[in-house]
Amino acid sequence: MKALRKIGILVMAVAITAIGIGCKNTAEEDKKADESAPAAVTNLTATAKDSRVLLTWTDATDGDVYGYEVSYSGSAPINRAALPALNVKSMMAPQGAGGCYVSGLTNGTEYTFTVRTMDTSGNKSGGVTAKATPVAVSANSPMTIALSVPDAATNTSLNVKVEVTTAAELKKVVYKKGGSVNAKTLLSDTGAHDVTGSVKSNGYFTVTAASEADGNGTYTVAVLDESGREKTEQITIGKFDFTPPSKVKNVSETYSDTLHVIILNWTNPSESDFDHVEISYTTNDGTTDSAKSAAESVNGVTKTFTGIDATKAYYTYYIASVDKLGNKSAEVKHRVGVNTGTSNPPEGFVEVPRTSIAGTESWIPSSAVFVSGRVLEINSFYMSDHEVTRAEYKAVMGSLPDYMAKAFDKDGHKLTGDAAGKNPVNKVSWYDALVYCNKLSIKKSLTPCYKINGKTNPDEWGAVPSSSDSTWDAATCDFDADGYRLPTEAEWEWAARGGEHYTYAGSDNIDDVAWYTSNTNDTGTRDVKTKKKNGYGLYDMSENVWEWCWDRYGNISNTTPNTGSASGSYRCQRGGSWFSGAGTALVTYRISNNPNFRDNGYGFRPVRKVN
């Protein structure tokens, strides 16, 4: 029988040999301040081979591990050819080794192996033991290959353990993802990875990946020994995990201008592998954001920030969820205004300036809202710079309306699922819009504007009516509340004009600013904010979807209140839609509909009181 070569105790990382890191003496050097023992290894196994034993373990998780002391009891001396001795019967494997071979053992003799963790201060853990008895392999025995990987998920790399039983010295070991199961073919494949040295010395090879598609799959390993035996074995790897956790939800804040603190609260993801959040922030002086702060890791669901500078306009916090592997979610942005003397539009909103209308102006184009003799005071207000998107609607309401229009990007590519999140929500009634506004206000810890039957919580309003409903029609709006609401028709037209005299909202050329029948071919909505904005920074005020306003519809006279007619069953809509003609895109064009009516051309955008 041809004996296997004695290769001694070898660490399980090829890089260790390559860069010349050797074993360290475990004798006590200088007295260390740290005298606490590190954690022990876990999952120690001893696998018998011909004249040798393969030890594998799960490394300790301590941050200051230096290495692992390996010792054994038996009748034969340990082979120290590869690594110098620590003492008579022990040697060191470095951190990250995950195991080692012990060679030069006597077949038929049972050995007990002990592994102890040692930290950088020289402290050692208790010993973990395992037993194995090396056995001779007959020259007539067929080659066998056993492949295995650790149970733990990873987003960097993993070791594939290769256990080969054969009577001759290993000559060549290769692997390839999706490789041939024919040994000769794979051994000669120039695209296969040659891992002969690693497997002979360490008993494993390393697979590194940058994505799940890159790392997960079926791998074929081919082995050739010096006697000409050859064999393949396959293993399917599914341990690479690059999926980020869900984002945090329900972010709210408490700001104290006397204590100069901001307290953030949120709800963490429910995934079992969620670990913590990372929070960074910027400040804004009214015009420019500062550089983003270094991210801070936070456990729990609240964080207090001190030393808040009240001269700043606002702070913007960026919160990312992090799982146990380090995968991060997209950031959730949360803005907190701190200077009440500075305008602080919410994220995605712009400030529309106040105006006084005397009723004597000459409007270009002419208006059916700003009519002769009608005196209006329009206070400044915040308006969403875009129509409410599908993603925003779902985040507040929990689901999307049924039978919405098809969604497309600006180049006409069809979008589905989350990819359609930037298209405007549609199939929304006036009643639905009221529910959204109050739910969003409550979510943002603001005072809701709308009441139905004296209640502001939509959960107490009952199901949204699918037909005209006198109770819902009698909804009231508190225009002094700081929550979200629909604009009045006067506010909408003032905002759409943008301080300019264009026919459409931002241009006299409709294709500059609008998605309408001629450039959508009546196919569906388009991503918001893909056309030119108007003078106030508002997008899609002409077309894409019709936008509900607060007002009851009716002919407007010089006695009509700021908030519209006092009677009437229909509610106003403005702006036109993706299947409307150019005439509906005018900043002056008005229509109306029953407040319960849902159509795939109907959407909305909210406004808020300034500060």
Alpha carbons within 13 angstroms on the beta-carbon side of residue 473 total: 18
- Is the pLDDT at 31 greater than 80, yes or no? no
* Mean pLDDT computed over every residue of the chain: 90
Task: Give the count of alpha carbons within 13 A of 300, CB side only.
Answer: 8
3-state SS, residue 234: strand
Please give the full DSSP string across 180-227, using - where no structure is assigned: -SSHHHHHT-TTSEE-HHHHHHHSEEEEE-SSHHHH-EEEEEEEEETT
Res. 93 pLDDT band, cuts 50 70 90: confident
Share of the chain above pLDDT 70, in %: 92
For 356, phi then psi, to 5°, come to -115, 125
pLDDT digits (tens, 9 = 90+) for 313-370: 999 999 999 999 999 999 999 999 898 777 778 889 999 999 999 999 999 999 999 9
Cβ-count burial 177-191 (b if 16+ within 10 Å, e if not):
bebbeebeebbebee
pLDDT of 458 reads 98
What pLDDT score was predicted for residue 80? Answer: 41
pLDDT tens per residue across span 404-414 = 999 999 999 99
Cα torsion 340, 344, 347, 352: sign? positive
pLDDT of 4 higher than 80: no
Predicted pLDDT of residue 355: 95
Residue 1 has pLDDT above 60, yes or no: no
239 — pLDDT class (breaks 50, 70, 90) = very high
pLDDT, position 89: 57
**Contact partners, residue 561, CB within 8 Å, separation at least 6:** none
DSSP letter string, 233-261: EEEEE--B--PPPPPPEEEEEEEETTTTE
Q: Judge whether 1 and 139 are in contact, CB under 8 Å.
A: yes
Alpha helix stretches (DSSP H) within 282-421:
390-397
Q: What is the pLDDT of residue 451?
A: 98
Read off the pLDDT of residues 354-366 as tens digits, 9 standing for 90 and up. Answer: 999 999 999 999 9
Which amino acid is present at 149? V
As a whole number, mean pLDDT of residues 546-575 equals: 96
Let me know the angle formed at the C-alpha of 598 by 405 and 367, rounded to the nearest 5 degrees: 95
**Residue 573 confidence class, pLDDT cut points 50, 70, 90:** very high
Distance CA 76, CA 74 (A): 6
Q: Is the dihedral of CA 77, 82, 87, 90 positive or negative?
A: negative
pLDDT band with cut points at 50, 70 and 90 for residue 100: confident
Tokens 């901001």 — which residue? 262
Residue in the structure block whose two tokens are 């040798």: 52
Which pLDDT does position 141 carry in this prediction? Answer: 81
pLDDT of residue 422: 98
Rounded distance between C-alpha atoms, residue 381 and residue 536, angstroms: 12
Radius of gyration over alpha carbons of the chain, in Å? 35
Average pLDDT over residues 470-497: 98
- The pLDDT-based confidence of 33 (bands split at 50, 70, 90) is low
Which tokens go with 24?
């360290």
Question: In the chain, what are the domains?
Answer: 14-132 (2.60.40.10), 144-237 (2.60.40.10), 249-343 (2.60.40.10), 355-388+404-426+487-609 (3.90.1580.10)
* pLDDT attached to residue 104: 82
d(CA 194, CA 173): 6
What is the pLDDT at residue 103?
81
* Least confident window among 135-149, 467-481, 491-505, 533-547: 135-149
Residue 460 has φ and ψ, to the nearest 5°, of -100, 5
Whether the per-residue pLDDT at 285 is higher than 90: the answer is: no
Question: What percentage of the chain reaches a pLDDT higher than 90?
Answer: 75
- Does the pLDDT value for residue 376 go beyond 60? yes
pLDDT digits (tens, 9 = 90+) for 115-149: 999 999 999 999 999 999 988 877 778 899 999 99
Give the pLDDT score at 30.
46
Question: Half-sphere exposure of residue 375, counting CA atoms within 13 Å on the CB side?
Answer: 1
Paired tokens of 161: 């353990």
Check pLDDT > 80 for residue 85.
Answer: no
List Cα–Cα distances, 416 to 423, 522, 544, 552, 572, in angstroms. 10, 17, 17, 35, 30
Q: What is the pLDDT of residues 205-236, one digit of tens each?
A: 999 999 999 999 999 999 999 889 999 999 99
pLDDT digits (tens, 9 = 90+) for 168-212: 889 999 999 999 999 999 999 999 999 999 998 888 999 999 999
Confidence check: pLDDT of 416 > 60: yes
